Amino acid sequence: MDIAHMNMDGTEIARRDARAGAETVSLAIIGSGGAGAMRAGEILLDVAAKAGFFGLMCRAMGPQIRGGEAAALLRLATAPVSSPDDHFDLLVALDWENFSRFAAELPLAAGSLVLTDPDEGEVPAAISESGARVAALAMKKLARTVPGGRVNVIALAAAATLIGLPVPLVGEVLARQLGRKGDAVLAASAAALALGEEVAAALPPARRLAPPPAAAGARWVISGNQATGLGALKAGIGFVAAYPITPATEVLEWMAPALAKTGGLLVQAEDELAAINMVIGASFAGTPSLTATSGPGLALMSEALGLAVASETPLVVVDVMRGGPSTGIPTKSEQSDLDIAVHGLHGDAPHLVLAPNGIGDCLFTTQWAVALAERLQTPAIVLSDQALGQSRAVIAPPPSPPALPGRLLATAAEADHYQRYAVTASGISPMAVPGMAGTTYVADGLEHTPRGIPSAQASDHHTQLAKRARKLEAFDYGAAWADIEGEDGDEIALLTWGSATGPAREAVRRARREGLMVRLISLRLLLPARPAALAAALAGVRRLLVVEQSHGRQFHKFLRANYDLPAEVAVLSRPGPLPIRPAEILARLVPWE
Amino acid sequence: MSDSQTAPAPLLTAQDFKSDIKPIWCPGCGDYSVLTALAKACAELARPRARIALISGIGCSSRLPAYTNVYGFHGVHGRALALATGVKLARPDLTVIAAGGDGDGLSIGGNHFLHACRRNVDMTYILMDNQVYGMTKGQASPTTAPDWCEGKLTPTGTGIAPVAPLQLALAAGVGFFARGFAGNPNELARLIVAGITHPGFAVIHVLSPCVTFRAEQRGWKQAVHGFDGAPATDPATAMARFAGDDGFTTGILYASATPPFMPERQMTMTAADFDRGFIV
């Protein structure tokens, strides 16, 4: 047994890590339903967080309600990470059931280590062919030697030991979670942990983490869907109506109790048509309101989004995208709702489309979207996706978006001659809400006069169309419209959005480290397009690589429709569900070096 | 926000609840009487105009909000009840009324009708039934008899049984159901007052003739007959009592004591308090 692994002494652990410390280690824990792979992954992420690391855990799941294949895909690091790595350094297989269904999501390299339970059958060919080292660990048998011992706890201890996470911390996290289950359960888990740690000492070495940063600063553990919910709450959302849909449901599950404690309310509607119309009603009544859905739900909501545009009712729709069209791949990610978000409304219907580009950014972007929707009296669609929403990360505390003045309300001075859709220079008209005396009006999806009276006259239509477009175009969105990394003089740029930003960000950093100066531009505000701002961001850029996760090059087409791009443009566009990996992006940049 | 409830309440007449906009309805349309009855009911209840929200979908009758002087929303086809639900849940202090026709409420909006009945949010739904789509010039609606052959899309009749709003509402768990007739606006005003006063979801089913596409509905004047008994308070009794109803019985047909849906709200935390749950 390696004495360093048993030692609680911090200096000893530091010495051990220094022997082969890496800035980042990726590991996957896989198993069939009930094996506890996902649980083990979550615990490892929490342990890494408590130990001072950063990290990311994505989930690969099948469509089964309970059981089925599941993989916890972790990347732990000494600094914040924005995307999965190119391959996994360690794969712990509790069993190989249904492995073929997600084999493609588990790239391995020659140096990778695979732990297999010899009682769970042969190692699949895909593993043998990867060139990874394979080591046997009879996890099930070992678990049986401990009364009440669980397979995933053995695996957890072995994995933690191999990558250099302190096993005592694993014990602490487990004990906190099992606290209510009694001493016998706690003792069983402690014994299983000790056993797992012991047997790991005899295993071949795996890539180990370097010591955590001395001052990692405050860190959060949060999922994208939770961050979306928290951003909404911080923005003052007081009403949510929604219909359950994967992979957006966790936004709602987080918000329901949180709203109930902050004076708000979440209503489970009978369908998405009801949800969006309830949200319109609540917003009309003066309460900032939001719904969350996925692609099929957004499609059902699109008629009412037109109503929100015409009636100038602020609201936010969060679309946590999944593979489409139709039911598609509900549990896996894709950036393929950009088209419907941008173009899916009927009529000329200017609206906002925003996209978070990281897990923490789900908070920032959702909060900003609510503030913009309220300020501009318009619907905003926020395009998150499964890869952001259902992944958890250890991150620096997310920043807050710039503060904006809230909804422009009518005043008593306007009583008795109130014009709900008054034509103003900014395009924003003061909005009365029920309860205000003297400013009653009828919000209308029919084209209308400034007073809100239905009108089919050309002049009213033209004036109101122009007003609704102007309020979005003329607004100063500030610096948050995009994330830009790089320097003047960069001749190559990556242009991306949403969850594809994570691997793009890492690719840019790797490229710059190797002397290839590449600029990153990630659009957070998709609609309205900002041609002047992007032209400035692209100044000096001769070559552009567009990175997106869709089959139909939706983002590239969107860019072509709205922006002037440099002469040389390449596109890395691939449908889900496999994540785009940093090395793929780098491989496209290298020929330009 | 200025609060009209804190101002001395002026006594308003029915006329004060009507706007200066001329309705697009045909001469003789039953909906004029519904507007009159609604304005009368509002005046009788003496609610401030600013505290009433009138929500509609699409159709002839859904034009109603523009002709009133209260807050209104003329939304998309079929979703008036959903939108009204959002208004009421966000602002329980408001008197919320939804209005629309048989196509809007029972066809395209049928699902919301079911769920509004079972959700029992405290609001009133004025369902103006003329058994025809008037705005699109005379097609069969979900309440049209199967042998009506004048609809151009169904020249040999729909061949399918119409929806019975009362039975549908009872099956879905409605708390209050009254039926009125546009030709008797005084009774209708009383029914609307009763519906608004009822704590929970109240359906006011109004027989509102379309003299343009269903001229024979002028005969409804002779067909209607009042129900003066005490309304049933449980759905089984109501269902049995009106099993053979001809659809022309007016009055309060059902009133239960089911408590309305209004989730409790607490203000025990602020948004910033939730940061704690994520800090390592």
Give the DSSP letter string of A517-545. -EEEEEESEEES--HHHHHHHTTT--EEE
Share of chain A above pLDDT 90, in %: 87
Give chain B positions within 8 Å (CB) of A287: 90-91
Q: What is the CATH number of domain A221-395?
A: 3.40.50.970
Cβ of B198 under 8 Å from any chain A Cβ? no
Residue-wise pLDDT tens digits, A296-347: 999 999 999 999 999 999 999 999 999 999 999 999 999 999 999 999 999 9
Q: Where residue B7 falls among pLDDT bands split at 50, 70, 90?
A: low
Cβ of A30 under 8 Å from any chain B Cβ? no
Beta strand A239-242 pairing with A265-268: parallel
Give chain A positions within 8 Å (CB) of B4: 435-437
Asked if B280 lies within 8 A of A435 by C-beta distance, the reply is no
Q: Which residue of A has its CA nearest to B114?
A: A270
Q: Which residue of A has its CA nearest to B86?
A: A278
Q: Of A254, A247, A241, A318, whose CA–CA distance to A283 is shortest? A: A241
Give chain A positions within 8 Å (CB) of B70: 440
pLDDT at position A34 over 60: yes
Round to whole Å and give the CA distance between A500 and B244: 64
Domain boundaries, chain A: 3-209, 221-395, 408-475, 478-592
Round to whole Å and give the CA distance between B173 and B114: 8
pLDDT at position B135 over 60: yes
How open is the CA angle A360-A363-A369, to the nearest 5 degrees? Answer: 135
Give chain B positions within 8 Å (CB) of A50: 280
Q: Domains in chain B and their CATH numbers?
A: 14-278 (3.40.50.970)
Q: What is the pLDDT of residue B26?
A: 97
Shortest alpha-carbon distance between residue B245 and chain A (Å): 30
On whether the CB atoms of residues A284 and A443 are closer than 8 A, the answer is: yes
Give chain A positions within 8 Å (CB) of B262: none
**Residue given tokens 């209005």 in the structure block:** B99
On whether the CB atoms of residues A92 and A158 are closer than 8 A, the answer is: yes
Q: What is the CATH number of domain A3-209?
A: 3.40.920.10
Q: What is the pLDDT of residue B5?
A: 52
Cβ of B138 under 8 Å from any chain A Cβ? no
Asked if B50 lies within 8 A of A262 by C-beta distance, the reply is no
DSSP-assigned beta bridge partners for residue A76: A25, A55
Burial class (CB in 10 A: 0-12, 13-18, 19+), A517: middle
Round to whole Å and give the CA distance between A409 and B50: 15
Cis peptide before A325 (omega within 30 of 0): yes
Q: Which CATH class is domain A478-592?
A: alpha beta
Residue A25, phi then psi, degrees to nearest 5: -130, 135
Best of B2, B64, B117 to disrupt the A interface by mutation (most A CBs within 10 Å)? Answer: B2
CB atoms within 10 A of CB A593: 11
Residue-wise pLDDT tens digits, A358-367: 999 999 999 9
How open is the CA angle B222-B227-B233, to the nearest 5 degrees? Answer: 150
Q: What is the pLDDT of residue A33?
A: 75
Residue type, A589: L
On whether the CB atoms of residues A155 and A199 are closer than 8 A, the answer is: no
On whether the CB atoms of residues A169 and A150 are closer than 8 A, the answer is: no
Asked if A282 lies within 8 A of B90 by C-beta distance, the reply is yes
Q: Where residue B196 falls among pLDDT bands split at 50, 70, 90?
A: very high
pLDDT at position A4 over 60: no
H/E segment holding residue A354:
strand A352-354
DSSP-assigned beta bridge partners for residue B139: B133
Residue-wise pLDDT tens digits, B144-181: 999 999 999 999 999 999 999 999 999 999 999 999 99
B 34-63 residues with CB < 8 A to A: 48-53, 55
Cβ of B172 under 8 Å from any chain A Cβ? no
Cβ of A570 under 8 Å from any chain B Cβ? no
Asked if A281 lies within 8 A of B87 by C-beta distance, the reply is yes
Round to whole Å and give the CA distance between A571 and A496: 10
Residue-wise pLDDT tens digits, A137-167: 999 999 999 998 999 999 999 999 999 999 9
Q: Where residue A5 falls among pLDDT bands split at 50, 70, 90?
A: very low
Give chain A positions within 8 Å (CB) of B21: 453
Residue-wise pLDDT tens digits, A46-83: 999 999 999 999 998 877 766 678 899 999 999 999 99
Cβ of B148 under 8 Å from any chain A Cβ? no
Give chain B positions within 8 Å (CB) of A307: 75-76
| Distant-in-sequence, close-in-space partners of A165: CB < 8 Å, separation ≥ 6 | A44, A47, A48, A51, A53, A76, A159, A209
SS3 A436: coil
Cβ of B89 under 8 Å from any chain A Cβ? yes
Give chain A positions within 8 Å (CB) of B52: 434
Between the CA atoms of A268, A271, A277 and A281, what dihedral angle is there, to the nearest 10 degrees? -20
Q: Is the dihedral of CA A114, A120, A125, A126 positive or negative?
A: negative
Comparing A117-126, A285-294, A361-370, A555-564, the range with the smallest average pLDDT is: A117-126
SS3 A479: helix
Q: Where residue A14 falls among pLDDT bands split at 50, 70, 90?
A: very low
Residue-wise pLDDT tens digits, A498-522: 999 999 999 999 999 999 999 999 9
Asked if A230 lies within 8 A of B49 by C-beta distance, the reply is no
Q: Which residue of A has its CA nearest to B2?
A: A436
Q: Buried (b) or exposed (e) across A176-190, using 16+ Cβ within 10 A?
A: eebeeeeeebbebbb
Round to whole Å and give the CA distance between A589 and A592: 5
Q: What is the pLDDT of residue A178?
A: 82
pLDDT at position A35 over 90: no
pLDDT at position A10 over 50: no
Give chain A positions within 8 Å (CB) of B274: 230, 233, 258
Same CATH topology for A221-395 and A478-592: the answer is yes
Q: Which residue of B has its CA nearest to A239?
A: B90
Q: Where residue A2 falls among pLDDT bands split at 50, 70, 90?
A: very low
Give chain A positions within 8 Å (CB) of B1: 286, 409, 433, 435-436
Share of chain B above pLDDT 90, in %: 95
Residue type, A304: A
The rounded mean pLDDT for chain A is 93
Residue A12, phi then psi, degrees to nearest 5: -65, -45
Structure token digits, residue A296: 């099929």
Which one of A258, A307, A436 has the shortest CB-CB distance to B75?
A307
Asked if B50 lies within 8 A of A434 by C-beta distance, the reply is yes
Which one of B51, B83, B274 has the shortest CB-CB distance to A230?
B274
Asked if A273 lies within 8 A of B82 by C-beta distance, the reply is yes
Structure token digits, residue A338: 């950009």
Q: Of B83, B72, B138, B137, whose CA–CA distance to B105 is shortest? A: B83
Give chain B positions within 8 Å (CB) of A49: 280
Asked if B71 lies within 8 A of A440 by C-beta distance, the reply is yes
- SS3 of chain B: the string is CCCCCCCCCCCCCHHHHECCCCCCCCCCCCHHHHHHHHHHHHHHHCCCHHHEEEEECCCCHHHHHHHECCEEEECCCCCHHHHHHHHHHHCCCCEEEEEEEHHHHHHCCHHHHHHHHHHCCCCEEEEEECCCECCCCCECCCCCCCCCCCCCCCCCCCCCCCCCHHHHHHHCCCCEEEEEECCCHHHHHHHHHHHHHCCCCEEEEEECCCCCCCHHHHHHHHHCEECCCCCECCHHHHHHHCCCCCCCEEEEEEECCCCCCCCCCCECCCHHHHHHHHEC
Q: Where residue B212 falls among pLDDT bands split at 50, 70, 90?
A: very high
**Residue given tokens 């659009």 in the structure block:** A523
Q: Of A203, A116, A189, A204, whose CA–CA distance to A154 is shortest? A: A189
Model ipTM value:
0.96
DSSP-assigned beta bridge partners for residue A242: A268
A 239-258 residues with CB < 8 A to B: 239, 241, 258
What is the DSSP-derived secondary structure letter of residue A27? E
What is the count of residue pairs from A and B with beta carbons less than 8 Å apart?
199
pLDDT at position B65 over 80: yes
Cβ of B73 under 8 Å from any chain A Cβ? yes
Q: Which residue of B has its CA nearest to A399?
A: B275
Round to whole Å and give the CA distance between A17 and A23: 11
Which one of B266, B272, B275 has the shortest CB-CB distance to A260?
B266
Residue A522, phi then psi, degrees to nearest 5: -120, 120
Q: Of A301, A295, A315, A431, whose CA–CA distance to A366 is shortest? A: A315
SS3 A484: strand
Structure token digits, residue B14: 């029915």
Give the pLDDT mean for B58-87: 98
Cβ of B280 under 8 Å from any chain A Cβ? yes
pLDDT at position A17 over 60: no
